[in-house]
Structure 1
Amino acid sequence: RTLTQSEVNYANIEREALAIAWACQRLEEFIVGKPITIETDHKPLLQLLQTTQLTDLTPRLQRLRLRLLRYSYRLQYTPGKHLVTADCLSRDPMPCDTTKDELSEEVNAYVQAIFEHIPTTDSNINKIHQAQTDDELIQSVMKYTVEGWEIPITNMNLRDYFNIREELSVVNGLLMRGQRIVVPASLRSEMLHRIHMGHLGVTKCRYRARGSLWWPKMSVDIEEFCKQCQKCQETRINPKEPLLPSTLPERPWHTLHLDLYKFSGKWFLVITDIYSRYFEIASLSNLTSGEVIKKCKSAFSRFGIPVIVRSDGGGQFQTTESSEFQRFARDYGFTHIKSSPYFPQANRAAEAAVKIAKTILKKNENDDPYLALLAYRNTLIPELGRSPSQLLMGRQLRDTVPTHPDLLLGHKDEEFVARDRQRRLRGKRGYDERHRTKTLSDLHEGDKVWITDLRKQGIVTGRCNEPRSYWVLPTGSQSPLRRNRANLIPEYVSPRLQPMLTTNNSRIPLTLPVAHNQPHNHESMEPTDTELLSGLPSGDATTSLEHALPDTRQREANSHQAVDSPRSAFSGATDSPKTNHPSNGQQVVTSPRRTRSGRLIKTPARLDL
């Protein structure tokens, strides 16, 4: 047949679909109830009329596909040059006798079926119907949907509905967008709580809502509601941050990492040199600071006093002004830096050395472990082209393996620094890609956060000297704690949803004890097992870099100064008990207390104004 005046304006793909629909209706008596194959030379129709969701089609294609729902058909693509019969008949078409409203019955039946199969109860339908009736904006949209839209739109609140006007319909007094119910503003808060029931993520909540509900900017509201959920903030895990690039120390035995470990019922101290990957193992008779200091002095007497010593902040390495290890640092003139608690990656060099040391001791439990250590120190690191002894002492050590005397002579190698820099950059790129790192936002003083290891709320009171490290005051505590950014999740409150939502989430009290500002330094991420001791028996590890160091003369000048401690940042620390001055004039003496980790906490004396 020929095309009507309106069908002439159809797009080409719509005309091809119209031909299939009209042919099926024309031959209805012969094909109803039987599987049929329809050949077409328009390949896009194979997906549009078979697999594509009906709601994803344009309104005109929806109507054409509705006409085909009663037939059991399968589309097959055939090039036009092989459809000779259809091409021949198209050259002498019959006059068109199609009526304008022949689809009204099918469309009404389809819409009624959608309404009857909405996944909700009658009480919810009645509740939404009543809310739509009370909503003036929804009533205006329903009026325009039935009577036609005014162009241009004068009410800006109607613009979101005008853009989807072809998808809107009124079924039994209920405004719908396709198969989804339009939710009025008064019920959106309740719907958000229902959608987020089970505390699913943003993406899954969106999938859940898009199946049956719609309102303007629904996706944005769902995302902000999920971010604001208190439970989700408490259980969320921060993504890995990009690795902080660091540089190699300027000379051997410049930066050391210390750590303790237990093996076969005995405790050992590991001292690792970052530059050479050379480490010393010392057996400890007890776990006091004095025993650790004695072993450090023994190592320093052989290789010299370092400029920087890093530790994990254990009880033996307290940095308060009155602590024994801090006095040792002042007397010997080196800077002691602690890593953040519950963040071993910052002291990764020592952790890698501990793994190697345990492997050596375990494999040589019945042999001489000192020869095993000598073999490790003389073994070439493939990525660096040098052994730890060559990097530290500039020469190979004589061991049980016959060695040419020339190899025992020291020599200076300039190539090592350039090769190490390239290897560290490759390691950073691999780490960032492997962990899909993401830079976390900076925290500021007064920010409310969730402390993941303590499972408590807290408030940021300042920034530490090291990078990505903050002082945090937990709820109900008077003593601030130091935590890395990876252990802190900031609280998110949506300014847009706050007026509409009524939640009973507990909030952190805004009243804080006075705390002095903390200095700002940088804490670097340390090299991993593979970077430090590659080529030796060690487990898989990620690569990390040493943090860039300041000018040598500045470091030497600063090395004779006391290091700022977390205690001194908040109060003047002394060995005597502290005295508080309440408003009534009486002095209250508070004794120091010791935490579960062994740290000595002294309450600061505050000035009562």
Structure 2
Amino acid sequence: MDNNPLTYILTTAKLDATGHRWLAALSGFRFSLKYRPGVNNRDADALSRRPYTTEWTQLTPDGVQALCQGTERRVKGGIEAEAIGVMAAAVPEFYCNPMQLRDENLPTFSRQDLKADQARDPLIALTIKALSANQREILLTNSPSGARLVYKEWERLKMLDGVVYRRGPSTSAEEIQQLFLPTKHRESVLRSLHDEHGHLGAERTFKLVRDRFYWPCMRAEVESYCHYCLRCIQRKTLPTRTAPMSHLQSQGPMDLVCIDFLCLEPDASGQGNILIVTDHFTSYAQDFSTKDQRAPTVAKVLMEKFFVHYGLPRRIHSDQGRDFESRLVGQLLELLGIQKTRTTPYHPQGDAQPERFNRTLLNMLGTLSNVEKQSWSRHIATLVHAYNSTESDATGYSPYRLMFGREARLPVDLAFGLSLDQTSVASHRNYVDRLRKNLASAFEQARLTSGNREQRNKKEL
């Protein structure tokens, strides 16, 4: 282009609402902007100045009918679309991607299925040949794409019952066995761990994939998939600054619980409020949809849906809303022996954790389809579970693991027969001993990670 200021539209340009809307529409395409002076930009000038001499053609009724017959209604995978025949080259590659239209359940694969799929994949078949002969140099002879990267991972590759795995990095004492995933299954795995898992960010999605699978250039492929996800582009915005330090301190699970209300437009069932309950130490969150924000509702939800399932916390922290500061809630907490603290007026930073979770939850709700948004209360529990089962930047562990001592089992784990807990136990006592040791190590690492993050934020501010 011969307009130099337009080259900054993707980086430092200050746009109004209309400009951001146009940019969001263009974000679904892969393109780069390069400046070319007008003197050298004759190709574009020639196209815009090309004489147009074609005259209008009068169509007969039969011709109009023939054109109309070229338009057909197709129904595939529960999605209706009207299409008229066009050249394949005229359709951008991004919109030809079938991943955006599929609505399928992930099938279940047996070990024999995985062995057959790996044997049919050229790169994995070569890896199997090299492992069977114990000769890594085989990966360098007539090697397909990615073989040199697999060559560097030779010491971490192994075969279990005829299936190739890679020994992956782990934040716990247990070793992760990453399945060497064939190319044909990568799209369905990314769809399961991103599209069907709340459309979380690229880093969280990559960690979910990394804990289960391996293939060359995996991070770049995951980042590209999330970057060009249409729903993420339409809904999510980039953060403008680092969150300030938190003054609240907790020593373990259920030591400090933060509560807050998130108010939304009522859905078809009449639900318009969400009581958010988060454990400060583990970042584990729970949501409870309510029709109002009255004190009896808060007391009933806390007692019947939270305390009886997770136990009593030592402290509960909230803002100064009338529902949280009511006599009824105060008497309930006093009866149970729970200490109540609160923020200063009009200072949401004092209850930062649920406020930050609210922003994440709103982004996840925003990625729902228009039909799903009409009944958002039916999907919110699944979205919160997706958040709890992904690794948190603040602790280095998933909230689910810190709360329950193990990772959540996801549909993709059942489909591929994966188990994130590789160690079996002979008795309940052995399980308790191992769980106590793993949780103590995880809690200590979470405290160190959280402290280092606060120090880093302090320097940035």
Which TM-score applies when normalising by structure 2? 0.38
Which TM-score applies when normalising by structure 1? 0.29
- The structure that is helix-richer by fraction is 2
